Chain A
Amino acid sequence: MIGYAIVVFREVLEAALIVGIVLAASKGTPGRGRWVSGGIALGVLGACVVAGFAAEIAQAVEGMGQELFNAAILFAAVGMLGWHNVWMGRHGKEMAMEATALGREVAAGARPLYALASVVGIAVLREGSETVLFLYGLAAAGSGGAIDMLGGGTIGVLCGAVVGAGLYLGLLRIPSRHLFAVTSWMILLLAAGLASQGAFFLNQADVLPALGNQIWDTSWLLDEDSVPGRVLHVLIGYVARPEGIQLVFWATTIVILLSLMRWFSTAPKRAVVRAAVIVSLASAGLVLAHAARADFTIHPPIVEYQEFEVEHNGSYTFDSNPANKHNETGTLELGYGFLPWWGSEVEFAWSRTASDPPRRLDEINWENTFQLADQGEYWLDPGIFAEVGKSARVGNTDHVEIGPTLQKQWGNTVHTMNLFFEHLFGPDNGEKSVNFNYAWQSLWTWKREFQPGFEIFGDVGPIDRAPGIRDQQLRIGPVAYGKIDIAPGLGELKYGLGYLLGLTHGTEKGALKWNLEWELVF
């Protein structure tokens, strides 16, 4: 019986801790007990189903069904937790006004309890399915009768529940005004831990590389299988022997969720959160009155095959006109070279203007680079760039941008040109307009770590009714780029920095631009 109890306790522990955190995070919301109980019940049901279909799942998708299933539900849980935190960031102020009837109504009606219930259900399903299989194995082998199994199982569940309850009650001791912040952080770390587990399974499924089999080994300090080790594993994602990819997913989840929480937050900014976001890859944003964003990026007609990259671009403009005084843009991009001739990136773009201070997510773009020939095969290296963008702001437009990219290497200089046509979609776009913008870059490939040159960016505007050059945007300025190797297997870092002077009446006086990229081939 003890054997059963111990096994069940180990598995139940993780789910119980998650239930404790969820209950504390949703304190004050009527009906949460029903939602969480529902989540647990569905999770138990799901666990039995998954255990029953273990054979079929294992053989699915060329033998990687288990891994892909686990990764999918883990990332679904990450999404739910992230959604909850973002939602709380927007409505936290109202939630804190528990004392008022309005606050209670908001709490009752709007909270995404289904999100929290799903997380509970997923946690129970994950741990539960393994438990069911294990108990079935023990039972089939005849080690002890039904009473042993039931008794041991119940004891295990109760012990797990006690630990979960302990966490819940401990969290409740925190004064209400701080509880929201504390549970937000706990949910953030919980999500990061689950994402790291998801990465583990994707590596097992041979979908992601390990990026280092064992970045450190702290099993001598705290074994992951011990009770405190498991507790830490759930709460902060502790892994005694982490793969590099697990750390990448852990950190990236925190960066992305913190950034999203901050963008959508209506609460006064806290210094700690602000510092964390700045330290992370996210950067300032900008809102331009202009429908098209001013992105100062040159797109070469080259695909870096099998290269994964995380990129951040930013700009900060200066102008004497007070309305345009300090505008900022920023992007975060994740990309991969899927084929030798096709690379793709997802880009999150945000901005902030002097007249509209909060940073806002402007759009989410899907960029594709097509390399049409080998480098040097023709006199000019030809390529095509195609981008689809979905606006994240009310009233703003979606867009498609496409055009040729050309490059020429000449001795120790390289020159690149972009000619892009942008078609805007949207309710406010009565007349279909196609905008045209162009860019040029010349670099002296002096050293790998430092390549100076200049760039030109021009935006004509709508082709059919283009304003004169005076009112178009045109910029030129010095830039420098470089590449630095980090360590074998850890990829390389690329940087870019430049200052663009506005040449026309319709352009800001100056713009500082930068970009930082981390690339890894696998």
Chain B
Amino acid sequence: MDRQAWLITLVSAIFFVAAGPVWADEPQFTLVIKDHRFDPAELQVPAGVKVRLVVKNEDSTPEEFESSELHREKVVPPGQQILVIVGPLDAGSYGFFGDFHQDTAQGKLIAK
């Protein structure tokens, strides 16, 4: 078999696989950033499954959603929303904060 045929096969295979993962219906929750605070400040999510968090920034300046317990660090531009996928989480409480306004932007994710 010649090299070209191989190359075509391999590239097709790569494209096939890269078609993108299909995210099943994972539970989705929304966090709103307003006046440099999170709303809700405490959010309950199911434990043991992947959870989609939509973080909406309704302020006019950027914020960074960050949590060392959740291992997440992502900038939310003003007026935009971002997607943060967490989990599967063990039951417990996980703190998160807004890195750009740490004094007011604090919250907790409670996994049950």
Residues of A within 8 A of B (CB): 54-55, 58-59, 62-64, 66-67, 130, 133-134, 136-138, 140-141, 200, 203-204, 206, 210, 213-214, 219, 224, 240-241, 243, 338-339, 342, 366, 388, 400, 402, 423, 425
Residues of B within 8 A of A402 (CB): 1
Cβ-neighbour of B17 out of A141, A339, A425 (below 8 A)? A339
In the complex formed, the residue of B with least CB distance to A225 is B68
Cβ-neighbour of B61 out of A137, A213, A241, A388 (below 8 A)? A137
Instruction: Check B71 against A425 for contact (C-beta < 8 Å).
Output: no
Interface flag for B91 (CB, 8 Å): no
Instruction: Check A388 against B6 for contact (C-beta < 8 Å).
Output: yes
Instruction: Check A58 against B77 for contact (C-beta < 8 Å).
Output: yes
How far is B80's CA from A59's CA once the two chains are assembled, in angstroms? 9
Give chain B's interface secondary structure class: mixed
Residues of A within 8 A of B17 (CB): 338-339
Residues of A within 8 A of B13 (CB): 342
Q: Per-residue CB proximity of B28-48 to A under 8 Å, as 1/0?
A: 000000000000000000000
Q: Check A241/B64 contact, CB under 8 A, given A206-B85, A213-B90, A400-B3.
A: no
Residues of B within 8 A of A59 (CB): 80
Interface flag for B109 (CB, 8 Å): no
Cβ-neighbour of B74 out of A62, A134, A204 (below 8 A)? A204
Interface pairs (11), CB distance under 8 Å? A63-B83, A64-B83, A130-B64, A134-B99, A136-B61, A141-B61, A204-B73, A206-B21, A206-B85, A338-B17, A366-B10
In the complex formed, the residue of A with least CB distance to B64 is A130
Cβ-neighbour of A63 out of B20, B50, B71, B82 (below 8 A)? B82
Q: Check A214/B62 contact, CB under 8 A, given A54-B75, A137-B100.
A: no
Q: Check A137/B62 contact, CB under 8 A, given A59-B80, A64-B83, A400-B1.
A: yes
Residues of A within 8 A of B63 (CB): 137
How far is B6's CA from A206's CA once the two chains are assembled, in angstroms? 30
Output the residue of A58, A200, A219, A342 with the most chain B CB within 10 A: A58
How far is B74's CA from A55's CA once the two chains are assembled, in angstroms? 11
Cβ-neighbour of A134 out of B68, B76, B83, B100 (below 8 A)? B100
CB distance from A164 to the nearest CB of B (A): 23
Instruction: Check B75 against A136 for contact (C-beta < 8 Å).
Output: no
Residues of A within 8 A of B74 (CB): 58, 66-67, 204
Residues of A within 8 A of B20 (CB): 62
Interface flag for B69 (CB, 8 Å): yes
Instruction: Check A219 against B83 for contact (C-beta < 8 Å).
Output: no
Interface flag for B110 (CB, 8 Å): no
Output the residue of A54, A62, A64, A213 with the most chain B CB within 10 A: A213
Q: Check A134/B62 contact, CB under 8 A, given A213-B90, A388-B6, A402-B1.
A: yes
Instruction: Check B60 against A140 for contact (C-beta < 8 Å).
Output: yes
How far is B72's CA from A319's CA once the two chains are assembled, in angstroms? 56
Q: Check A55/B77 contact, CB under 8 A, given A137-B100, A339-B17, A402-B1.
A: yes
How far is B61's CA from A388's CA once the two chains are assembled, in angstroms? 51
Instruction: Check B69 against A140 for contact (C-beta < 8 Å).
Output: no
Residues of B within 8 A of A243 (CB): 71
7 A-B pairs closest in CB distance:
A137-B61, A63-B83, A55-B77, A133-B62, A206-B85, A140-B61, A54-B77
How far is B61's CA from A134's CA once the two chains are assembled, in angstroms? 8
CB distance from B67 to the nearest CB of A (A): 10
Residues of A within 8 A of B99 (CB): 134
